[in-house]
Amino acid sequence: MCYLSDYGEHAIAMAKEAVATCGVDGLFLDCMNTRPCIGKECLDAMAKEGVDWQDSRQLHAFNQRKIVGMAKRLADAVRTVKSDLLLYFNGVGYEAQQSIGSYLEFECLPTGGWGYETQAVGFRYLRTFGKPVLNMTGRFHRSWGDFGGIRTEASLEYDCLNGLANGMRPTIGDHFHPRGDINRAVAALDTRIYQRLQKLEPWLEDAKPLTEIAVPTLRPYPGYDYLASEERDDYNRDFTAIKGATRMLCELKQQFDVPSPISSWENYRVLVLADSVILDGDCRQRVADHLARGGVVIASAQAGLDRDRRDFALPEWGLQYHGDEATETTFLQAGPELAAGLPDMPMAFYERGVVVSAKPGTAVLGTVVEPYYDRHWDGRHGFVYLPPDKDSGRPAVTCNRQVGYLSHPVFTSYYKHGSVPMRQLVEKLLARLFPQPLLLTPGAPSFMRATVCSQTGRRMVHLLAYLPETRGAGCAMIEEPLLVEQQRIALREDDREVRDVYLAPQGEKLPFSREDGYVVVTVPKLRGYALVVFAE
């Protein structure tokens, strides 16, 4: 239904009536992201604004203004009835809700099509807005309205704990049966989980995530549905890289955000510019300011190029750009500084990279090995198998005082192909440029997640040991928590003197030591989840 038609005023009147007569504390307006409309009212409005409705980009941009306008009209109307109403408009961009809604919700049913990668990005994106965030998962195995489906207890608990570990509160979504029947199996499941979560309350109230790294996005998230078809390829490209970087940094136990285009970058010590971040206008200035403050950058492929993609926008890269690689697949020859822990062989870059040369002061840590040929069909033969041929000497991995650079889109490659050496390269650059991160977890399994939050007088480390497993045709499942034993963790003490370390909520004290500016403790056993408290 079109919000510029009489339906818009009808919906506003219904909302006002509900607030006036039902004693509600708030309204959740769902599914507000309607498709573009070319009815009479919209055509008249577009004509007044000078919008060409046959231009897909202009049409979609007008449609988003219309949706945001409807949210504002509705918010203003219901607040005349009750000024302190809680309001959320699902489907309106998070940026727009900064000045309209009361809080934010992150809707994600990981087994219902959203996926766990979406959850990992969304948590770290929404918490940068400075508003309270509600983590909306659901009990349905597939998606909303799956009345016969129920999540496993471990998967539902993981959603809730993962949200808590990232600074947001949980809600488990459901639908009542139209007869009003209570599904006692679902109620019992929710009760068990909430009773366990409630015991953590003292360590959750006003707890703030501590982060040092930013993976900035220049596009609103999620924004795919808001875009004209001509813009969607670029959106998908950029967010594939963001999801790959998020996956890597989660596995490396780094403390990071995915700040929105309107969020500040000032308090981060590291910027990770994933694959396709062009430095133009405000973005160029923000990166320059970050470097001027002494911050460091990890960049890859085209990240750092100027608007015209002619060269790198800032001299701190220490590189010159020469265009794309001639072949789709090339290989990495690691130099001595990178070799430890990597296979002693040329390692494939599975996505096309760019050609760069290093300027004085920039160290080349790895070079590009070319294949004999690119994959092709010459009319008689298929050239399919690609052994590496000669080391070209061209830089593949470089580093100077402030910028670590990889000439290939390693974050996209990691998301699409899961090549562990790509993560190892990023880990090695971080170790050179940022050798003392807030948290260290030596020997931790890659599936474990670790986040740090802070309250007055204490900091908490949330450890989660669950593994979403792709089953069958592609449903990501968590059936049971995993056991991790004798896990050593080290929290950088900074200027906060730690006096006691214990597990919450049980209060079991853990012996600790101090090593090189870190407070070091060993968690004897965690099954799925442990909350380690460093009291001051």
Please measure the distance between the N-terminal and C-terminal CA atoms of the chain and give it in whole angstroms: 56
- pTM of the predicted protein model: 0.94
Q: Quote the tokens at residue 203.
A: 């360590």
511's CB contacts (< 8 A; 6+ apart) are 501, 521
Average the pLDDT over each of 260-264, 311-315, 482-486 and give the range with the smallest value. Answer: 260-264
**Mean pLDDT score, 441-449:** 97
What is the four-CA torsion angle of 429, 432, 437, 439, rounded to 10 degrees?
70
Tell the burial category of 97 from Cβ atoms under 10 Å away from its Cβ (0-12, 13-18, 19+).
buried
Place of tokens 């992150």: 106
Q: What are the tens digits of pLDDT across the range 449-472?
A: 999 999 999 999 999 999 999 888
Mean pLDDT, all residues of the chain: 95
Check residue 470 and give its pLDDT. 87
Backbone angles phi, psi at 435, to 5 degrees: -75, -10
Closest CA to 308 of 336, 343, 279: 279
Residue 492, classed as helix, strand or coil, is strand
Q: Model confidence over 238-265: pLDDT tens digits?
A: 999 999 999 999 999 999 999 998 899 9
For residue 473, pLDDT beyond 90: no
- Helix or strand (DSSP H, E) at 379: none
pLDDT at 98: 86
Share of the chain above pLDDT 90, in %: 88
pLDDT computed for residue 471 by the predictor: 85
Q: 153-189 burial string, b = 16+ CB within 10 Å, else e?
A: ebbbbbbbbbbbbbbbebebeeeeeeeeeebeebeeb
Asked if 120 and 247 touch (Cβ cutoff 8 Å), the reply is: yes
81 burial type by CB count under 10 A (0-12 exposed, 13-18 middle, 19+ buried): middle
Which segment, 132-136, 179-183, 216-220, is predicted with the most confidence on average? Answer: 132-136
**Taking 80 as the threshold, does the pLDDT of residue 435 lie above it?**
yes
pLDDT tens-digit readout, 153-192? 999 999 999 999 999 999 999 998 999 888 999 999 999 9
Q: Give the per-residue pLDDT at 28.
A: 95
Q: Does the structure show a pLDDT above 90 at 223?
A: no
CB burial readout 348-367, b (16+ within 10 A) else e: bbbbbbbbbebeeebbbbbb
Please tell me the distance from the alpha carbon of residue 491 to that of residue 497, in angstroms, as a whole number. 11
